[in-house]
Chain A
């Protein structure tokens, strides 16, 4: 465990937890401005969280422990990923966990926990949302693994810090067919997995087409705050992964206050830019019919397979 890994990991945790609601607020603000509304301001998600945390905890009748622990599990797993993945520095606090397969599994487990909680409530909406979420998850998982695998072929390792480090050493790799195809595939996966348009509409409640919101409909108070924080953190972590796997410029390679500061600022700027781009794109998109979603995800899986093929063939 290196000093860079430890300090960087702590810094990343603070950045992700503190910045995730701000990212969400920024994206909502961008959408609001583009749609001609004034918007509630960037800090609104934090104000919402504060309001939720002050409310009393309510547990629906007939729910089990799963309902109670699911939000904590999701936030905890996302937090582990936020600590170990090379966001600010190339070293990892827990190198064994900063592995591509472990990271994808941890992120998927968060989704599974929330889906189980949705089933646990026994309501029609909860079960429907959980069923849809798991359908999407089953298609997203292989694509995410294969897309990142395309990058690890050249490095010869599935360790994320090594992938980021080797791209830093050889920036020309960014403009290769393999990494471009993988970037497109991963971007689609992230849109599907974080419940953004065109797969799921993040700004609606009580609509028959929703996916994520349907699962968490029974949550209120502090637990809802945790679910919302966890969702925002997942979005931040996914966007951070996308940014640092393909454009790792600015990531600190040695410990030291200036390097870490540059790394933190670069991370914030990259994730912010990606989030703003996603919000701008969402303004022009309509939600896809649920039965068309597998088509989109099959396409992204194909792109990921092509990326791996390209990585093997073209080198």
Chain B
């Protein structure tokens, strides 16, 4: 069982590291690739939980996670990106990258502080990784509010979703296959809708920089 715990810890670390990398890098294709890696890390986390609990249902959820978050969502993002025109970089985030990295450090410490009571309730290896998942949620929110490009805001939203899913698995060890599938389909639908929206935005304005939408044009 030592190996399952080690895999769990490594996956939690990879989850947080990829969230930080999304915040760090400016090139949108790189961000999408990092997001795919995070999906794989989340699937590994669920797989480690499944192995520890010996649950076939969780193993199935892990496979579903891998397919949806490691392959389908990144593929949709790449398609949105291919349609997004020449601007493949997040050129002017609202706060600069160095500051947002320091903000991420503060958010991680905040996550650690607020999840302390949660961990104290049942100190298992799984619940001990909860602060990491909460930190991913907070960093995803930071990406969502500080980036200007539609695709990177989308990635921020998906980071939050990854974090929330990870919190769910780490605290409850799965909330039932039907609910999981429902949530997964919801996320897929949101990404599809936003992808269409991005495409329409580009057709209308020639760009997906959301800052352009603040002013009225003729």
Whether A associates with B in a native complex is yes
Spell out A's residues near B (CB within 8 Å). 172, 175-178, 180-181, 294-295, 298-299, 301-303, 305-306, 309-310, 312-315
A295-B96, A303-B20, A305-B109 known; 15 new pairs, CB 8 Å cut-off, are: A175-B6, A175-B10, A176-B9, A177-B14, A177-B16, A295-B98, A298-B97, A298-B98, A302-B101, A306-B20, A306-B108, A309-B112, A313-B112, A313-B132, A314-B9
Pick the most buried of A176, A181, A295, A313: most chain B CB atoms within 10 A of its CB: A313
Q: Which residues of B contact A299 (CB under 8 A)?
A: 20, 24, 101
**B147 located at the interface, meaning its Cβ lies under 8 Å from any Cβ of chain A in the complex:** no
* Closest A residue by C-beta to B17: A181
Q: Which residues of B contact A312 (CB under 8 A)?
A: 112
Interface of B is mostly: helix
Partner of A298, one of B2, B102, B119, B132: B102
* Contact residues of B between 1 and 37, Cβ < 8 Å to A: 2, 6, 9-10, 12-14, 16-17, 20, 24
Q: Which residues of A contact B112 (CB under 8 A)?
A: 309, 312-313
* Closest B residue by C-beta to A305: B105
A177 touches B9 (CB 8 A): yes
A302 to B129, CA, bound (A): 18
Q: Which residues of B contact A314 (CB under 8 A)?
A: 9, 12-13, 125, 128-129
**B131 located at the interface, meaning its Cβ lies under 8 Å from any Cβ of chain A in the complex:** yes
**B104 located at the interface, meaning its Cβ lies under 8 Å from any Cβ of chain A in the complex:** yes
The 3 closest A-B pairs by CB, nearest first: A177-B13, A298-B98, A298-B101
Interface size on B, residues (CB 8 A): 28
Q: Which residues of B contact A310 (CB under 8 A)?
A: 9, 13, 16, 132
Q: Which residues of A contact B108 (CB under 8 A)?
A: 305-306, 309
Partner of B128, one of A178, A301, A302, A315: A315
Provide 24 A-B residue pairs closer than 8 Å at the C-beta atoms, listed in order of the A residue: A175-B6, A175-B10, A177-B10, A178-B13, A181-B13, A295-B96, A295-B97, A298-B97, A298-B99, A299-B20, A299-B24, A299-B101, A302-B102, A302-B104, A305-B105, A306-B16, A309-B108, A312-B112, A313-B129, A314-B9, A314-B12, A314-B13, A314-B125, A315-B128
A176 to B125, CA, bound (A): 13
A172 to B10, CA, bound (A): 12
B13 touches A180 (CB 8 A): yes
Pick the most buried of B98, B109, B131: most chain A CB atoms within 10 A of its CB: B98
A180 to B16, CA, bound (A): 12
Given contacts A294-B98, A298-B98, A306-B17, contact A176 B109 (CB under 8 A): no
Q: Which residues of B contact A301 (CB under 8 A)?
A: 101-102, 105
Partner of B101, one of A172, A178, A295, A315: A295
B86 CB, min distance to chain A CBs, angstroms: 22
* Closest B residue by C-beta to A312: B112
A174 CB, min distance to chain B CBs, angstroms: 11
Q: Which residues of A contact B102 (CB under 8 A)?
A: 298, 301-302
A303 CB, min distance to chain B CBs, angstroms: 7
A222 to B20, CA, bound (A): 46
A301 to B20, CA, bound (A): 12
A136 to B119, CA, bound (A): 38
A306 to B111, CA, bound (A): 11
A172 touches B6 (CB 8 A): yes
* Contact residues of B between 78 and 102, Cβ < 8 Å to A: 96-99, 101-102
Q: Which residues of A contact B131 (CB under 8 A)?
A: 309, 313
* Closest A residue by C-beta to B2: A172
A305 to B16, CA, bound (A): 12
Pick the most buried of B6, B9, B24, B125: most chain A CB atoms within 10 A of its CB: B9
